[in-house]
Structure 1
Amino acid sequence: MRTGMVALGLGLLTLRFLPALPPVWVWLLLPVVGLMLLPFRTYPLAFYLFGFSWACGYAQSALNDRLSIKLDGETRWVEGRVTGLPQSNDTVVRFELADAQSRRGTLPSLMRLAWHAGPPVQSGERWRLAVKFKRPTGLLNPHGFDYGAWLLAQGIGATGSVKDGQRLAPAQRAWRDGIRQRLLSVDAQGREGALAALVLGDGAGLSREDWQVLQDTGTVHLLVISGQHIGLLAGSVYLLIAGLARYGLWPGRLPWLPWACGLAFAAALGYGLLAGFDVPVRRACVMIGLVLLWRLRFRHLGAWWPLLLAFDGVLLLNPLASLQPGFWLSFAAVAVLIFTFGGRLGPWRWWQTWTRAQWLIAIGLCPLLLVLGLPISVSGPLVNLLAVPWISLVVLPPALLGTLLLPLPYVGEWLLWLAGGLIELMFKGLALMAGQLPAWVPVAIPLWCWAIGALGAVLLLLPRGVPLRPLGWPMLLLLVFPPRQLLPEGMAEVWQLDVGQGLAILVRTRHHTLLYDAGPRLRDSDLGERVVLPALRKLGVKGLDLMLISHADADHAGGAHAVANGLPVQRTVSGDPDGLSSALQAGPCESGEQWVWDGVHFQLWQWSAASDSNQKSCVLQIEASGERLLLTGDIDVPTERALLDSPLAVPTDWLQAPHHGSRSSSSMALLAGLQFKAVLVSRGQGNSFGHPHPTVIARYAKLGMAIYDSAEHGAIRLQLGSFQPPSTMRLERRFWRDPPPLGP
């Protein structure tokens, strides 16, 4: 039976790695084939087919519930009910709208909306809203967060921005939001948001600095409800009833064991529902239920059975859970503990068990964190030795009890005040540790290198005395110090990152690195911090020789502060340094400046008669082995005419589309005069400016220029000097992504 359960899990998990879903008739036929195989004692294959078919059907249903292409970018009036826990700050309100209806067209069952400068929105309310729809896609960058996969796993079929709206009905059956409002209204010594995260799993009240501290110290799992909290509550209830029965305080007419198991599971399930029943909570509830069932029936299930049944159970409920990093981390952490402590010949003392558990989890999860593209906390094993019992034994009891006793005057508020102070004390200690040892963002490494490192981690998890175990350390260190791949002399690697309606282009030679623009910063979103800086670190950039900000507009310069704060920058240059913050210490663009890095030639140009920031854009020409690229910022037609009289007016292979393809740029004189073969367009999907303009696209097509658009291709990588077509992120097919265009 265990083999069949493993096969079922593998079938459910296969979905995660599919580039495209098979045709409907295929996955409908697979269960029939599985039933035919059962009499021939090939039940593992039959279970695999059952799991694979169920996963494909579930995924196809989720894809069918997404916004239709014809509604993408449209604005419609819709009516629906607010669900979940809305998030709000000074500038924007974000919430989910369920059961939305429109008179013109069918809508997804769940949408995620943003309302800039909108009124307060509460869960359970019904609203009539004017929404500009957008298909559930996200930015695609090397080793970056896949927002589209996250939306699909959450069952969100569309995103959108609210233009106007009116409340139709007050909140109904919104008990979680009601509890959150009460928690946020009490005095918790400034840690009301952290209490909401601990009690409800709602991290919206944590500041960006708080999240960074938790990430640096590897303690995110402590503030956002994890299986550990569920297990602690269930265990406390069980031990309480067992203790009452032992000392004769439990009613004799009620058998204590069934009541202890039942109430412990009810407590775990209730806390799970309070937390939103995410993947770690589901896994914990299933495992706790199985352990309590074993205790009730006095049967030995072992450690792997509950984990295996929980694994299959979570995937049966939602096969798309495997698209979320939390799914892998949750089950992997438990598997590491079972693997580490199972089959040991002798017992460890309690302090040995506790300390070794933290270090072994860190070693076991290291390869997984790397492949998931997540930061690795260097201080996490040490910090968790103290932080885990502090939260679980000191903070959590008054937090939960205070929440339960809020209807009693003063009692609940005092307990929450105490819990908030304890959380604040913990954060002060975590901040000190994070300042000394920030999280390590590993560089993306080749598959063979990762496989050796993962094997090394497995060896280190084995008991002492196992042959070849010491080899695990050098094998694991290969993840930390992978072999460096240098570019050939005279070649340049160019990445146009996918930053939406903005621009960020990374240029690397054999020993030097340049960043041209740093992405946008709009309202509460800093793409320099969220996208550009993580991408640079993942690509192995440890510092910038030059950060060139074409001009001072926020869509080009907005992310410069985040980049400068996150990486050492030797020199900063801008076409409009006066429009930038003095903290960047940017020098002026010197027209005619030239230099050579590793056989690659660079030259700057700026129009001397420029009158506005766009016209002041600092233009950069890059030539590698005879292949040229022209980076233009936001220059317009008059600037382009001046450019044609400059030393840069030579036949050029690649053009970065001026002003994102605005009709005020990309004149026919420039395109024909410099004889471009291809163009790189950086813009946001469905942007309000209409970039790139149809007339500009028509000019590119008329001249036979290949078009590579970040909104359609994601991040684009060009090997300048090889005269080869670029590679794009959307060519890495995944079933949840819209297919790339048929041609560039």
Structure 2
Amino acid sequence: MYTRMFALASGLIALRYLPALPSVGWLLLMLLAGLMLLAFRVWVVGLFLLGLTWACVQGQRALDDRLADSLEGRTLWVEGRVVGLPQHAEAAVRFELQDARSRHGALPATLRLSWYGGPPVNSGERWRLAVKLKQPGGLLNPRGFDYQAWLLARRIGATGTVKDGQLLTAAHHAWRDSLRQRLLISDASGRAPWLAALIMGDGSGLSRDDWKLLQATGTVHLLVISGQHIGLCAGLIYGLIALLARYGLWPRDWPWLPWACGLAFAGAAGYGVLAGFAVPVQRACVMLALVLIWRLRFRHLGVWLPFLLALNGVLIIEPLASLLPGFWLSFAAVAVLIFTFSARLGPWGWRAAWLRPQGLIALGLFPVLWILGLPISVSGPLANLIAVPWISLLVLPTALLGTLLLPVPWLGERLLWLSGGLLDWLVRGLGLLAGYVAPWSPAAVPLSVWALSAAGALILLLPGGVVLRPLGWPLVLLAVFAPREPIPHGQAEVLQLDVGQGLAMVLRTRHHTLLYDAGPRVRDFDQGERVVVPALRALGVGGLDMVLLSHADSDHAGGALAVQGAIPVVRVVGGDVPGLPEQLQAQPCVSGENWEWDGVTFTLWQWSGASDSNQKSCVLQVQAGDERLLLTGDIDAQAERALLKTPLAVPTQWLQAPHHGSRTSSSMVFLKALSPAAVLVSRGRGNTFGHPHPQVMARYKALGVQVLDSAEQGAVRFRLGAFGRAQSERDQRRFWRDRPG
């Protein structure tokens, strides 16, 4: 039974790793083969094929529901209904629109929209909106968050920006939104947004600093409604009935166990409805139902069967759930607890039952967080040691009871005030802890090294009497002291990050690292924090020898403060120092300055006749052996002509496209003089500037220059001095990254 369940789950999960979905013919063949194998009792292969077939069918349905090419980038008037809880941030309101209609063509079932400076939007309302729509997409960076996969898993077929709109119909029966508003205006000791997140799964009221605090202390799971909250609610109800029955306070005519199981599930399901019944909550309810059935009728079947039943149940309902990090974290946490508790002969005392689980979960989840590219909270076990019982026994019961009793004058408000006060004490304590211990982001390593370290964590989870258990520690420590391939002397590794409409490039020699531009910051999106810093940590960069900001425009220098605040920087150089923040303490770019790191030569140049920030861009030439790279910032054709009169006007194999491929740059005389083999274009897909311009692309094509476009290929990496080819993130194919036809 276990093998068959595992085979079915493996087939459903295999969808995540497919480079492309099979055709209809192959799907029919897989279905017939699976059914025939089941008929001949070849269970494992047959169930695997059936699981894979079902997952592929659902994946294709989600892909088919994406925005058509003909509607890409167009501004349309659409009508639809707001669903879920809109997220009201400082700069915009973000919400999902369903049942959207437009006279210009069929639209996906669900749209995710942002309205900057717009009016309040509430769940259940119908709006007529002027929306500029885009096909689902996202940035592609090493170990970065895959936004496109996240959109597909939530079956969002298009994203867009609202230009204008009018309310058609007010919300009807939008009780969740009304309840959220009631919570947000309640006197909850200043923690009303936290209570809204805890009770309703609405984290839009939390600031970026709040989220950083939760991530630093490994307590995000306490505020994002997940299986833990559903389990806690059910456990409180089950425990209360069991306690009443033990002391004879439960009606004797009512069998306590069926009532305890039934009411526990009803309470958990009610909490799930209150939280919006999203995928994590659905997953938790399925698992809880199976556990309660097992407790009621099938205790002799062991503990792993309910786990596998829940795993398969969730994946059959929504095979795309495997694309979400939360899917892996929630099931991994449950698996760790089952493995560690069931593998021991005797029960733990109350101290061990309180102290050990947090350490074991942290150890068991560390390989999962590592492979997913998520930060690992070093203070997490200690923080959760206090936070879990504090939330479970004090905050959550009073918060839920206060919410239920809000119609009762004074009582519900007082309970929410008490719950908010308890939460405030916890947040203050977490803040003190986060100030002492920062989260750790281990560097990316080969899969074989990760597998050895994961095996070490598994060995350490075994009971203490196992002979080989101490060998797990050196394997786990590979995460800290993992061997990395050194960069040869005289070569430089170049990584152009995918930061959207902006620029950020990492250049590493054997012992030094330089960051050329730091990505854009637009409204509440800081790509220095979101993209550059995680990429540097994934590369194992502990400090930057230089941050070179070509000029002061926000798309090039906007992320610099976030980088400087997260990673030690020895020196900051800028092409337009007066336009940069004073905190950076930038030094001016000096034409002719050159230096050598590990056999690689770096040379700066700036046009003395520049009249604006773009023309003041600090140009960097990097030479490794006989291979050259030229980083040009946003210089225009005038600055290009001035550069051609300098020693930098030599054949250059790699060229960063001036001004993202603007029509005013990449002049033909400039390209002919440098005769690059490849040009690097960093820009946002569907940007309003029209970069790169068709005329510029025609010049590249006429000269036979290879174009490496971040909007099409994601982050691009190559080794300067090795005369090799560039590799891009899109080279690692996944089925959801294919554009709709």
Same fold? TM cut 0.5: yes
CA distance in 1, matches of 2:332, 2:166: 46
Match of 1:136 in 2: 136
Structure 1 Cα separation of the partners of residues 242 and 369 of structure 2: 40
CA apart distance, 1:619? 0.5
Consecutive unaligned residues of structure 1, counting only runs of 5 or more, are none
DSSP 3-state at the match of 1:393: helix
Distance 1:390 1:613, change over 3 A: same
Distance 2:301 2:410 in 1: 46
In the alignment, which residue of structure 1 is the partner of 2:63?
A: 63
The superposition leaves residues 44-89 of structure 1 with CA deviations (integer Å, 9 ceiling, x where unpaired) of 2221121111101010000000111222111111110011110112
1:539 and 1:531 mapped to 2: Cα distance?
12
Deviates more, 1:266-275 or 1:320-329: 266-275
Residues 241 and 580 of structure 1, relative CA distance in 2, 3 Å threshold: same
Give 1:619's aligned amino acid: V
Structure-to-structure mapping, 1:690-709, within 5 angstroms:
690-709=690-709
Within 1, Cα distance between the matches of 2:341 and 2:241?
28
User: What are the Cα deviations for residues 668-719 of structure 1, in whole angstroms up to 9, with x where unaligned?
Assistant: 1111122222110000000001011111111111111111100001000021
Deviations 1:438-478 (A, max 9, x none): 11011001111111111111111111221221110001101
Quote how far apart the aligned CAs of 1:248 are. 5.5
Letter paired with 1:38:
L
* Alpha-carbon offset, residue 298 of structure 1: 6.3
Q: Which residue of 1 is the match for residue 39 of structure 2? A: 39
Shift of 1:33: 2.1
Please tell me the residue identity of whatever aligns with 1:457: A
Q: Does the Cα contact within 8 Å between 1:713 and 1:740 map onto a contact in 2?
A: no
In the alignment, which residue of structure 2 is the partner of 1:387?
Answer: 387
Residue equivalent to 1:444: 444
Structure 1 position 314 matched with structure 2 position 314: yes
Q: Which moved more, 1:358-367 or 1:685-694?
A: 358-367
Distance 2:279 2:170 in 1: 30
Amino acid at match of 1:582: E
Q: 1:474 to 1:296 in 2, by over 3 A?
A: closer
Partner of 2:565: 565
| Pairing 1:464–2:464 present | yes
Q: What whole-Å deviation, never above 9, does each CA across 1:400-426 have from its counterpart, x for those lacking one?
A: 011111111211111111111111111
Shift of 1:277: 2.8
Could you tell me which residue of structure 1 aligns to residue 275 of structure 2? 275
Residue 253 of structure 1 and its aligned partner are, at CA, apart by 5.5
In structure 2, distance between residues paired with 1:558 and 1:451 = 38
Aligned twin of 2:152: 152
1:642 aligned residue: 642
How far apart, CA to CA, are the structure 1 residues paired with 2:740 and 2:542?
32
The answer on whether the counterparts of 1:491 and 1:719 sit within 8 Å (CA) in structure 2 is: yes
What's the CA shift for 1:244? 4.2
Q: C-alpha deviations, 1:579-634, integer Å up to 9, x for none?
A: 11111000100011011111111111111111111110001111111111111111
Q: Which amino acid aligns with 1:602?
A: F
Structure 1 segment 8-19 matched on structure 2, within 5 A: 8-19=8-19
Q: Single out whichever of 96-105 and 240-249 deviates more from structure 2.
A: 240-249
- The farther-off stretch of 241-250 and 28-37 is 241-250
Sort the Cα spacing of 1:740 and 1:663 in 2 relative to 1 into closer, same or farther, 3 A.
Answer: farther
| Matching residue of 1:212 | 212
Q: Is the 8 A contact 1:375 1:440 kept in 2?
A: yes
CA deviation digits over 1:249-269, x for unaligned, max 9? 555655444333222111111
Q: Work out the CA distance in 1 between the residues paired with 2:37 and 2:511.
A: 59
* 3-state DSSP of counterpart to 1:615: coil
Quote the residue 1:595 is aligned against: 595
Aligned amino acid, residue 702 of structure 1: A
**Contact 2:66/2:740 (CA < 8 Å) preserved in 1?**
no
C-alpha contact (below 8 Å) 1:730/1:740 kept by paired residues = no
- Judge conservation of contact 1:449–1:482 (CA < 8 Å) in 2: yes
Q: Secondary structure at the match of 1:284?
A: helix
CA distance in 1, matches of 2:123, 2:492: 52
Inter-partner Cα distance in structure 2 for 1:609 and 1:298: 82
**Aligned match of 1:356:** 356
Give the AA of the match of 2:315: L
Corresponding letter in the other structure for 2:387: A
Report the equivalent of 2:240: 240
> Quick one: structure 1 residues 381 and 247, their matched pair in 2 at CA, closer, same or farther if it must change by over 3 Å?
closer
The one-letter code of the counterpart of 1:53 is T
Stretch moving more, 236-245 or 311-320: 236-245
Letter in 2 for 1:71: L
Task: Give a deviation string over 1:17-59, Cα, whole Å, max 9, x none.
Answer: 1111111222233232222222322122221121111101010
- Secondary structure at 1:80's aligned position in 2? strand
| Structure 2 residue identity aligned to 1:216 | A
CA-CA distance at 1:100 after TM superposition: 0.7
2:699 maps to a residue whose letter is R
State the partner residue of 1:284. Answer: 284
TM-score normalised by the chain length of structure 1: 0.97
Trace 1:105-184 onto structure 2 (pairs within 5 A). Answer: 105-184=105-184
Give the drift of 1:740: 12
Measured in 2, the distance between the counterparts of 1:2 and 1:442 equals: 34
Distance 2:387 2:597 in 1: 48
Amino acid at match of 1:484: R
One-letter amino acid of the structure 2 residue matched with residue 342 of structure 1: S
Whether 1:494 and 2:494 are equivalent positions in the alignment is yes
Q: Distance in 1 between matches of 2:343 and 2:476?
A: 24
Secondary structure, aligned partner of 2:161: strand
Tell me which residue corresponds to 1:266.
Answer: 266
Partner of 1:551: 551
Per-residue deviation, 1:353: 2.2
Partner of residue 717, structure 1: 717
One-letter amino acid of the structure 2 residue matched with residue 132 of structure 1: K
- Aligned residue type for 2:485: Q
Structure 1 position 103 matched with structure 2 position 107? no
- Measure how far apart 1:283 and its partner are: 3.4
The CA deviation at 1:246 is: 5.1
**1:529 matched residue in structure 2:** 529
Task: Say if 1:286 and 1:306, in contact at 8 Å, map to a contact too.
Answer: no
In structure 2, distance between residues paired with 1:635 and 1:705: 20
Which residue identity lines up with residue 17 of structure 1 in the other structure?
Y
Q: Could you say if the C-alpha distance between residues 401 and 608 of structure 1 is closer, same or farther in structure 2, counting changes exceeding 3 Å?
A: same
Whether the 8 Å CA contact 1:66–1:108 is kept in 2: the answer is yes
Is 1:579 aligned with 2:579?
Answer: yes
SS in 2 for 1:205: coil
Q: How does 1:400-419 map to 2 (within 5 A)?
A: 400-419=400-419
Which residue in 1 is equivalent to 2:378? 378
Name the SS for the 2:479 alignment partner: helix
| CA distance in structure 2 between the partners assigned to 1:134 and 1:284 by the alignment | 33
> Aligned residue pairs: how many?
741
**Code of the aligned partner of 2:217:** T
Match of 1:93? Answer: 93
Letter matched to residue 444 of structure 2: A
Cα shift at 1:385: 1.0
Which stretch shows the higher mean deviation, 317-326 or 300-309? 300-309
- How many Å separate the matches in 2 of 1:334 and 1:89? 33
1:331-350 mapped onto 2 (5 Å cutoff): 331-350=331-350
Partners of 2:182 and 2:280 in 1: CA distance: 25
Moved more, 690-699 or 235-244: 235-244
Query: How big is the shift at 1:524?
Result: 1.2
Q: Which residue of 1 aligns with 2:625?
A: 625
CA distance in 2, matches of 1:180, 1:214: 21
Provide Cα deviations, 1:121-162, integer angstroms capped at 9, x if missing partner. Answer: 001000111111111110000111100000000111110111
Q: Secondary structure at the match of 1:204?
A: coil
1:371 CA displacement: 0.4
Q: Which moved more, 1:582-591 or 1:345-354?
A: 345-354
Question: How far apart are 1:739 and its partner, in Å?
Answer: 6.2
SS for the counterpart of 1:128 is strand
Partner SS state of residue 570, structure 2: coil
Shift of 1:279: 4.2
RMSD across aligned positions (CA): 1.5
**Residue in 2 aligned with 1:194?**
194
Task: For 1:222 and 1:687, locate their aligned partners in 2 and report how far apart those are by CA, in whole Å.
Answer: 38
**Which residue is equivalent to 2:518?**
518
- Structure 2 counterpart SS, 1:533: helix
CA-to-aligned-CA distance 1:536-578 (integer Å, 9 cap, x gap) = 1111111111100000000001000000101111100001001
When structure 1 is superposed on structure 2, of 198-207 and 586-595 the one drifting more is: 198-207
Give the drift of 1:649: 1.1
